[in-house]
Structures are given as C-alpha cells and as structure tokens.
Amino acid sequence: MATLSEVARRAGCTPATVSNVLRNRGRVGELTRQRVLEAIAALNYRPHLAARALAEGRAPTIALMVSSIANPFYPEFALAVERAARMGGQFLIICNTNDDPVAGRAYLEQIAGTLSEGVLVMNANLDFADLQKTETRGTPVVLCMWERPLEPPGLPCVAVDFRLAGQLAGQHLLELGHRRIGVIVGSKASGIHVARHNGFFDALCAAGIDAGNIPVLHARDTTAGGYQATRELLEAHPDLTAIFATNDLPALGALHAAADLGLDVPRDLSVIGITDIQLAREARPALTTVAVPTVEAAELAVMLLRDLIEAGSRDAGVEPCMRVASASCLVVRDSTATARASLP
Amino acid sequence: MATLSEVARRAGCTPATVSNVLRNRGRVGELTRQRVLEAIAALNYRPHLAARALAEGRAPTIALMVSSIANPFYPEFALAVERAARMGGQFLIICNTNDDPVAGRAYLEQIAGTLSEGVLVMNANLDFADLQKTETRGTPVVLCMWERPLEPPGLPCVAVDFRLAGQLAGQHLLELGHRRIGVIVGSKASGIHVARHNGFFDALCAAGIDAGNIPVLHARDTTAGGYQATRELLEAHPDLTAIFATNDLPALGALHAAADLGLDVPRDLSVIGITDIQLAREARPALTTVAVPTVEAAELAVMLLRDLIEAGSRDAGVEPCMRVASASCLVVRDSTATARASLP
DNA sequence: CTGAAAGCGCTAACAG
DNA sequence: CTGTTAGCGCTTTCAG
C-alpha cells in the first residue's frame, strides 16, 4: 500500500500538497496537481481511512446495533441504513447483540467513539444506562424507533407512532365487522408492542366495545410464536373471527396455524399484522398489515446521527431531540375479510 | 474520551507502561499495575481502536461483501460470519454491493487494507480482476462459497460441493419415481447455480434418463422469479410431477404457484430446493431441500481469512488455498412425495 | 521493571 | 501556491 508521502516524493512535492489535491482544496497549481494525480495513479494510491480518521478526530463508520439480523425485519432496516450511511460517505458496522445487554455493552465500549462515530440502536435490548454513558463520553446515540412521539426518551430518537399503527389495525378489523378478536403481543414487554397493543384498544374503545372480552396472549416475536399462540387462542375461543398480531412474524404464524386447523383465511378467520415486511407480501394468503415507514425511519435516523456528530464537532449544544417519521398506513391484502355472520 | 497518556499521567507512569498493562505483557510491577488499573477505571478509559490499528499496522474489522442483505439467505450467513469474527476480536463491516460491480469496486478500494484487514466475498458479483488487485495490494480476499472443490479459483476460498447438492436433489426426486421434472435455475449464470444444475443432471444420467426431455427455465433468484417460472413450466408441460429449483427462494415461489394453480403439493406436484434457509422450514408445506453447510462455510471463511492475515503479517508465502466444507445433505420435509402414478 | 523516543499515515494550521 | 511543523492515540524498540 503506497502512502501519501510516497506519492509526494514521486510528484516532487510535500505530503501537504498531495493532501490538498486529494481533498480538492483548490490552492494547488494546476501543474503540480497533474503531477500528483499521475503519481497517485502510478502508485495505485488509496488513502488510509484509519489514519485519516485518527488525524481528523472522526471515524468513517457508524454502528448499527440490532438484536439479531436473523429476524427478517432487521436486514430490511439494515439495508436502508447502509444505503443512507453510504450517501454520507460512511461505512456500516453491524452489531448483533442477540438481545444480550452484556454483548451490547461490550460492543458499545469497544466501538463507540473509537471505530465508529455514532451508534444507531434498533431494538437491541441494551441497557439504557449504557447508552447514556456512551453518549456522555461524547459519542452520539440515536434510537431508531421510539414508540411515543409525545414523550421523548432521554436520548435522540426517531419516533414512530406505533399506537396509531395498532389503532389502524383495530379499525380495519372493526370495519369488517369483527368483534371477537384474538390479540397476540410480541413477547418482550418492549414498548413498541405495548404501544401497538394500546392503539388497538383505543380503536376498540372508540367503537364502544368492551375490551374485557378480548383474549390477549403474549408470544415470542417469531412465526413459531404466533403459530403457537394462535392455536391456543383458537382452542380457548373457537368463536374468534379475527387475529391481530402486533408484528408481522407472529401474524404469519397465525396464517400457518389457521391452515393447519383447516380454517380458510380470510373466510373463516381474518389475520392482520403490523410492519409490512417483505414476507407479508409473499405469504399465502398475502398478509394484510399496517405498513411502518421503515426506510424513512432508517434515513431519518442516519441523518439525525450525522447532525449530532457535526453538532458535536462544532461543540454546539446537543440536546435530546426527536424526529418524527410519517404515519403508518393500512395495507389491505388477502388475509382479512368481512366477519362471518353466523356465530358457531 | 480519555487517552492513554492521561491514564499514564494519573497513574504516575508513562504511556508505555499503561500499554503494557493493557496488553498483559507481564513486565510491569504489581504496584504500578494496580495504579494503572485504578486510573483506567477512574477515567473510564477505552483504547482508541483506530489509533491502535494505525500503530499496529492492522485493522480490527473485516468486510463482508454481499449482493444484498435483503435476500434472506445473506443475513443468515452474515450472522454466522459476525459471530466468527467476534470470536477473533474483529468487527464486521457489511457491504451490500447490490450486484453492482462498480459499487463493489468502490467498496474494495476504500475499505480494503485501510479500514478492514481482509475481505470476505459472498456472491457479490464483483469483478474477479478487482478482487485480485486488492489481493495484490496486500489485503487478503476469501471467496466464501466456491462451487468446484476440484478446481481452485485464483483466490483463497471455501469450497462447497454444489454439484453434489444438485445430485442429491435429483436422486431424491428419482427415488420418488419422478421422471417428468421441471428445472428452475437461478438466473445469473453464476457458477453456483450451474454446478447445482449439473449435479442434477448427473443424477438423471446415472439413472439412465434422457435429459433432453427435461424442461429448464432460468429465473431471478427470488420467490417471484420461481413463481413465474413455475407457471410457465407448468403451462408448457402440464404433465410435470416435480419441480427442482437450484435455490430455495425460487422453490418457495414454486410452492405459491402450485397453490394458485390449485395443485396440491406434494400430492400433485413435488418441489425441492437447495440451501435450507429458515424460510424453507416455515413454508407451508415445509420445503424439502438440500441443506448447505452455511454456518460452517462462514466459520471456515473467517478462519481462512484470519490465517491469511497472519501469514501476511509474518510475510509467509500466501498461495491460493482452499478449505472444503462438509457435504450438503438432503432434508426431506413436506413438499415432496411419490410421483402420482397416472399420467394425464 | 519503567521511561524516552520514534513512528504508523494523514490532516491542519501557519509560514513563506 | 507550496512547504514546515505539529500532532491524532497508540505501540514498540531500545535504554536505563
């Protein structure tokens, strides 16, 4: 790997000059500029990013902490983050915490501020205190999907109104005439799922329905979890005409369970999820769901992080701030239909 | 962010000593050691990875080039790579080339040797010449899944016998009595798919079957591609009793197509894929497939890369070498069954 | 066992 | 316009 000074030597100038042409700083004579360019080409020179980072006091990467990229939602999100990061000239380091706060802390302590300039957190089940500590140490942290637009957390974040998402799902089911609805909530008492759940009940209340009769089950955020929960729900309440899952994966599991129980979706049972992951489109029947602005949230998060980084380097006041993503919207596909009139 | 010398000052010693305690080099008196440790704790010191990288002439990251993490196979692979990398103390930079050789080159030129110590390549559709160039510049490159164990490419690689995989798929179908089989080949003339395809024909030949009657269609490596291809195949050849797809995603698409055509899988049509991605397990019916040793390949690739890096830093001869992953194996699930006896 | 000094490759003032 | 001079934070000889 050729270095800057080798280029300089070959071009008959000093490293500073080479650096200037590299960064298009102008102040370089056209003639020397040419010589430098030639030398760069001849030596196949590439700037050493780590060295540059050290000299500039910045880093060319940001980190994305996710619980596990094996959950199909995260890759979609990660892809959007990577694209946005690349637009800003930064590379993405993927950190799978596997829902383990200890692993998460290890990542934060090693990476934050030394290898990556900022940290994006997406449901990684990290200790809030750890996050605040890294922020205090001077590395910006952004929560990618905060669920309560009206109550900013103690950290910069992108807010997504998940309560609204739950509400939309509820309204849709109600409009189709469903009254006996089973609810599957993604397991972790993760605020995200709670908000969606609450939104759903908002819709019920608004329609004057007694939420007391609505069976609710908590499940793991996987198809298997949804499958299991659906079977239990249906066994205990054979009269259910619809299932609302706070996430697409369990909703997909509900689809499978229905098939195995010989129920036709949507004729015998309607199923609705939230998020609109790719699989929702590909499922049979295609899943009706509430689409969350995933890509937009990723872009907002990256931009916010970048702003914080720049503010930090200008020593501007960095106060916890929040960007709000667009509203979620209902995507009607083939897994929901009018409630069957006849009760068993 | 506290620095090494701040720690040294506080501990009343020099940076060199702090460095020694940090790296457990021994040669430090127990007393000073304690003082250093205290100072580190008090200042909440963390080593600056970029600075260390520069000083050591190494980097704490490796890069994984994939076509697009949106294809569900890659996250599974990426997760395995990340785990293996972490074991060796390295971080993973994810590079989605989006199948664009230009984007891939940009990544290589920027990252290789400056930010990441080595590059793992997983079907990213990169220019072979670009890869060789980065290797020549001194950054090890490893191909994660090379399809011909008997013909090493010009680069270090992990070989997976995809021809065998295709053969296993073929044998399974033949044993079930299928003779009229439609073949869907993942679009890119990617060697991986060609090898699988060839293996399938090996099985046919071994059984003395005339391959001339076997309809073959190329499709994009997606469920949609498989869906479309299956419909075309079945329209042109209504007598097909089975579909072999060189990859799981198109096979999953075949499942959907069959459902839409009112065909019962596996009664009316058997479907088999290759890879065994998570979705294969979750599909309805669950997909019979040939499981490729994904995790093992990821681990071998990371280990090989690490060996190359170390060999390079010791200036040992680095000749193109190949590690061979275990054989793929058939996983029979619910999408294949005995061929229906009656021909239309 | 500990300190002093040089340097990794690059940037950023500041001089000339 | 170009060169000089300091570092960035850490590691690593080599002396003491």
Whether the predicted pLDDT of A311 surpasses 90: no
**What pLDDT does residue B312 have?**
80
Residues A142, A145, A147: CA angle, nearest 5 degrees: 125
Please answer whether residues B100 and B46 qualify as being in contact, where contact means their C-beta atoms are separated by less than 8 angstroms. Answer: no
- For the residues of A48-104, what is the DSSP string, one character each? -HHHHHHHHT--SEEEEEES-TTSTHHHHHHHHHHHHHHHTT-EEEEEE-TT-HHHH
Percent of chain A with pLDDT over 70: 95
Closest CA to A224 of A24, A71, A97: A71
Lowest mean pLDDT among A21-30, A74-83, B121-130, B220-229: A21-30
3-state SS, residue A41: helix
Taking the CA of residue A239 and the nearest CA in chain B, the distance in Å comes to: 25
**What pLDDT does residue B18 have?**
93
Does B4-47 carry CATH code 3.50.50.60? no
Closest CA to A159 of A289, A328, A319: A328
Position A292, amino acid: V
Using the structure, give the distance in angstroms from the CA atom of B45 to the C1' atom of C15, rounded to a whole number: 37
Are A50 and B48 a contacting pair at CB < 8 A?
no
Is residue A316's beta carbon less than 7 angstroms from any atom in nucleic acid strand D?
no
Give the DSSP letter of residue A211. Answer: G
- Whole-angstrom Cα distance, residue A36 to residue A8? 7
Read off the pTM: 0.94
Tokens 């080595």: give the residue. B118
Among B282, B284, B295, B334, the strongest candidate for a mutation testing the A interface, having the largest count of A CBs within 10 A, is B282
Burial class (CB in 10 A: 0-12, 13-18, 19+), A215: middle
> Least CB-CB distance to A75: which of B75, B137, B256?
B75
- What are the chain A neighbours of B60 within 8 Å (beta carbons)? 115
Which residues pair with residue A244 across a beta bridge? A183, A272
Is residue B313's beta carbon less than 7 angstroms from any atom in nucleic acid strand D?
no
Kindly report each contact of residues A38-42 with a partner whose C-beta sits within 8 Å and lies 24 or more positions away, as own/partner.
Answer: A38/A11, A39/A7, A39/A8, A39/A10, A39/A11, A40/A7, A42/A10
Whether the predicted pLDDT of B313 surpasses 70: no
Lowest mean pLDDT among A146-160, A305-319, B76-90, B319-333: A305-319
Using the structure, give the distance in angstroms from the CA atom of B41 to the C1' atom of C5, rounded to a whole number: 28
Query: What is the mean pLDDT of the segment spanning A285-306?
Result: 97
Closest CA to A335 of A233, A275, A210, A251: A251
How far lies B225's CA from each of A48, A285, A294, B52, in Å?
42, 18, 25, 47
> Least CB-CB distance to A54: which of B51, B83, B110?
B51
Confidence of residue A315 (pLDDT cuts 50, 70, 90): low
Please answer whether residues B59 and A54 qualify as being in contact, where contact means their C-beta atoms are separated by less than 8 angstroms. Answer: no
Per-residue pLDDT tens over the stretch A242-285: 999 999 999 999 999 999 999 999 999 999 999 999 999 989 89
Please answer whether residues B250 and B273 qualify as being in contact, where contact means their C-beta atoms are separated by less than 8 angstroms. Answer: yes
Whether the predicted pLDDT of A343 surpasses 90: no
**What pLDDT does residue B342 have?**
45
Write down how long chain B is. 344
Taking the CA of residue B45 and the nearest CA in chain A, the distance in Å comes to: 9
Strands A270-275 and A242-245: parallel
Is residue A16's beta carbon less than 7 angstroms from any atom in nucleic acid strand C?
yes
Please answer whether residues A187 and A225 qualify as being in contact, where contact means their C-beta atoms are separated by less than 8 angstroms. Answer: yes
- What are the chain B neighbours of A114 within 8 Å (beta carbons)? 1, 46-51
Is residue A139's beta carbon less than 7 angstroms from any atom in nucleic acid strand D?
no
Is residue B16's beta carbon less than 7 angstroms from any atom in nucleic acid strand C?
yes
**What pLDDT does residue A344 have?**
41
Torsion, CA B143, CA B148, CA B151, CA B154, rounded to 10: -20
Per-residue pLDDT tens over the stretch B153-182: 999 999 999 999 999 999 999 999 999 999
**What residue ranges in B181-240 does DSSP mark as E strands?**
181-186, 216-219
Torsion, CA B14, CA B19, CA B24, CA B27, rounded to 10: -40
Closest CA to B245 of B262, B268, B229, B234: B229
**What pLDDT does residue A182 have?**
97
- Whole-angstrom Cα distance, residue B287 to residue B280? 5
Please answer whether residues B184 and B244 qualify as being in contact, where contact means their C-beta atoms are separated by less than 8 angstroms. Answer: yes
**What residue ranges in chain B does DSSP mark as E strands?**
61-66, 91-96, 118-122, 141-146, 157-159, 181-186, 216-219, 242-245, 270-275, 288-291, 322-324, 329-331
- Whole-angstrom Cα distance, residue B63 to residue B130? 15
**What pLDDT does residue A248 have?**
97
Per-residue pLDDT tens over the stretch B28-79: 888 899 999 999 999 999 999 999 999 999 999 999 999 999 899 999 999 9
Tokens 């050591």: give the residue. B56
Average pLDDT of chain B, as a whole number: 93
Per-residue pLDDT tens over the stretch A142-155: 999 999 999 999 99
**What pLDDT does residue A319 have?**
65
Please answer whether residues A97 and A124 qualify as being in contact, where contact means their C-beta atoms are separated by less than 8 angstroms. Answer: yes
Residues B223, B104, B81: CA angle, nearest 5 degrees: 65
**Greatest C-alpha distance within chain B:** 90
- Whole-angstrom Cα distance, residue A304 to residue A190? 23
> Least CB-CB distance to A53: which of B50, B113, B279?
B50
Tokens 């793992």: give the residue. B120
Q: Measured CA to C1', what is the nucleotide nearest B58?
A: C8
**Tokens coding B105:** 């080159």
- Whole-angstrom Cα distance, residue B242 to residue B178? 7
Per-residue pLDDT tens over the stretch B290-311: 999 999 999 999 999 999 999 8
By C-alpha to C1' distance, C13 is nearest to: A16
Domains of chain A, by residue range, sit at 4-47, 57-161+294-326, 162-292
**Tokens coding B75:** 């996250």
Give the chain A residue nearest B253 (alpha carbons).
A282
Which residues pair with residue B273 across a beta bridge? B289
How far lies A336's CA from each of A104, A154, A240, A268, in Å?
39, 39, 13, 10
Q: Assign domain B162-292 to its CATH architecture.
A: 3-Layer(aba) Sandwich (3.40)
Residue B15: asked if its preceding bond is cis (omega within 30°), the reply is: no
Per-residue pLDDT tens over the stretch A109-140: 999 999 999 999 998 889 999 999 999 889 99
**What residue ranges in chain A does DSSP mark as E strands?**
61-66, 91-96, 118-122, 141-146, 157-159, 181-186, 216-219, 242-245, 270-275, 288-291, 322-324, 329-331
- Per residue, the 3-state secondary structure of B115-160, as one string, reads CECEEEEECCCCCHHHHHHHHHCCCCEEEEEECCCCCCCCCCEEEC
Query: What is the mean pLDDT of the segment spanning B11-18?
Result: 92
Topology of domain A57-161+294-326, per CATH? Rossmann fold (3.40.50)
Same fold, A57-161+294-326 and A162-292: yes
- Whole-angstrom Cα distance, residue B98 to residue B101? 8
Residues B114, B115, B120: CA angle, nearest 5 degrees: 105
User: Which has more confidence, A123 or B271?
Assistant: B271
Average pLDDT of chain A, as a whole number: 93
Is residue A29's beta carbon less than 7 angstroms from any atom in nucleic acid strand D?
yes
Which residues pair with residue B121 across a beta bridge? B65, B143
